[in-house]
Structure 1
Amino acid sequence: MTLIDLSHEIRAGMTTYPGLPAPEITPHLTREASRDVYAPGVEFAIDRITMVGNTGTYLDAPFHRYEGGTDLAGVPLTSVADLPTVVVRCSGRAVDAAVLSAALDAPVRGHAVLLHTGGDRGWGTPAYAEDAPYLSEDGARFLVEAGATLVGIDSVNIDQVTTEGFRPAHSLLLAAEIPVLEHLTNLAAVPDTGARLHAAPPPVRDFGTFPVRAYVVV
């Protein structure tokens, strides 16, 4: 058995999505202060993290896009854990229905479809958000109709980021109760088929997006 980590580290001050605030990590109880609370030789650190849900490698639930949609607490584990995977190797910028149809030899229904675009090469730099790969509207519709259980991408956004603000991939996938996993990395190490994905978020009520430790078991 091999475990392959697909997640970016979360660090204080890091940028995930340009324009969103970076996480702040501060002490709540320092080790020094804890010595006054516990027995001699016993100390703990209790820290506080302030961040938006869209930090690091994270999962979008339908609540992220739709009022009244399924929140993180309502997403079933069957949608985010122990999922058979299909990795789609994408060389162009737009991952559309034609690209998916040509690349997918394996079944999609009941699988996590992971889009390996190489977009993670620019992680942590301004280049990460420039001309980033994305899933097109007809590509998203293709995956919904094919029965994907989860869709992930190693790019800044599963949608093309436009000034008009359209987000068809998010809209179609989340309306179909298909969680979206963004900012993946290391997909080159994952076989095209045969791996199983785990990317479960904490069950937070009335919340739509949260970091996950995404990994596959091969």
Structure 2
Amino acid sequence: MPQYRAVFDAEISFVNGGGLSAHGFRLDLPSGDVDQAQIGALLVQHLGLALVGSVKLSGLQIVEEAHTGSRGIVAQVDAPAPRRLVDLSHVIRDGLVTMPGMPVPRMTAHLSREASRSVYAAGTEFEIPRIEMIANTGTYLDTAYHRYADGGDLAGLLLEGVVDVRIELIRLPGATERGIPAEVFYDREVSGAAVLLHTGWDRHFGTPAYGDPAPFLTEAGARYLVEQGVGLVGIDSINIDSMTADAAGERPAHSLLLAAGIPIVEHLTNLGDVPPRGATFTAVPPKVEAFGTFPVRAFATIR
């Protein structure tokens, strides 16, 4: 079902003096059929303002655009929808490039169907495939062991932390800066949540452009999420940290999050199909000792 947002300039005054101005403000709408007065009321509710004297909007446009999570806005629906699953994982295939410069997966047959015919009864055949790959392939999850020798590994990962975790999705495709700051999380209830960073960079996955300077979580952003006690952090970019030369090999987001035992999921995709709130996130790796990273089948459940 289409979603709508209002784009406008605003002048807000207060009955006890003072005011606020906004330029090019964007606000989620419950439907495309709302008037200016209703939008003004929704703006006040979203900002949590008190003692408002007047709200004047100008340059108002209503556009069809995915919601970003404005407070108090519930999309209009015709009827309760059935549960829907959104696949957030890239397909792993022979020769897939996940991280430019790292080995790609190679798939062969340990036992082919043809060869199996000499092993089993007539009319019975099987294929046993073999895959050789590094752990950082496709969409994968990092545990503390990936960064710290004494950190928890995949075998010690608690299922409660990676199954049906409440999502707070931060929609950022229109961001003008690569670094994702702490401030974008201030209006969200991120404690215990799977905070998913939708940058739109997954559109480059599998192409040389994927390795270009990409969106990342800043050190301040990672520190804030740790302080707030998030459950998990995911991103649809090449890395949750900056990988450019000026980063000098430092990985503050990995270091801070994993030191706090917060799993990281990188190389997500299809986050544009996930609402800002109201869904849950699942990403379960195999139970492997002395491994800190492995591919997952990540998905969102929308109820």
Q: TM-score, length-normalised on structure 1?
A: 0.97
Which amino acid counterpart does residue 204 of structure 2 have in structure 1? G
**Does 1:100 find its partner at 2:185?**
yes
Post-superposition CA distance 1:101-133 (Å, at most 9, x none)? 2xxx33111110000011111111111111200
- 1:170 equivalent among 233, 238, 254: 254
| Alpha-carbon offset, residue 157 of structure 1 | 0.2
CA distance in 2, matches of 1:131, 1:10: 23
**Does 1:59 find its partner at 2:144?**
no
CA distance in 2, matches of 1:9, 1:94: 27
CA distance in 2, matches of 1:110, 1:194: 14
Matches within 5 A, 1:1-218: 1-90=83-172, 91=175, 92-101=177-186, 105-163=187-245, 164-218=248-302
Secondary structure of the residue aligned to 1:214 is strand
Secondary structure of the residue aligned to 2:209 is helix
| Alpha-carbon offset, residue 136 of structure 1 | 0.4
Could you say which structure has the greater relative contact order, defined with CA pairs below 8 angstroms and 6 or more residues apart? Answer: 1
| Alpha-carbon offset, residue 99 of structure 1 | 2.5
Post-superposition CA distance 1:33-67 (Å, at most 9, x none)? 10111111110000100000000000001000000
CA distance in 2, matches of 1:57, 1:116: 14
The 10-residue stretch of structure 1 (91-100 or 190-199) with the greater mean CA deviation from structure 2: 91-100
| Alpha-carbon offset, residue 169 of structure 1 | 0.2
Number of residue pairs aligned between Structure 1 and Structure 2? 215
**Percent identical across equivalent pairs?**
59
Secondary structure of the residue aligned to 1:216 is strand
| Alpha-carbon offset, residue 98 of structure 1 | 1.9
| Alpha-carbon offset, residue 100 of structure 1 | 2.5
Of the two, which has the highest radius of gyration?
2
Structure with a larger share of its residues in strand? 2
Which amino acid counterpart does residue 122 of structure 1 have in structure 2? H
**Equivalent pair of 1:106/1:193 in contact (CA under 8 Å):** no
**Equivalent pair of 2:213/2:244 in contact (CA under 8 Å):** no
- Runs of 4+ deviating beyond 4 Å: none
The 10-residue stretch of structure 1 (182-191 or 89-98) with the greater mean CA deviation from structure 2: 89-98
Instruction: Specify every segment of 5 or more residues in structure 1 that has no aligned partner in the other structure, as ranges.
Output: none
Q: TM-score, length-normalised on structure 2?
A: 0.70
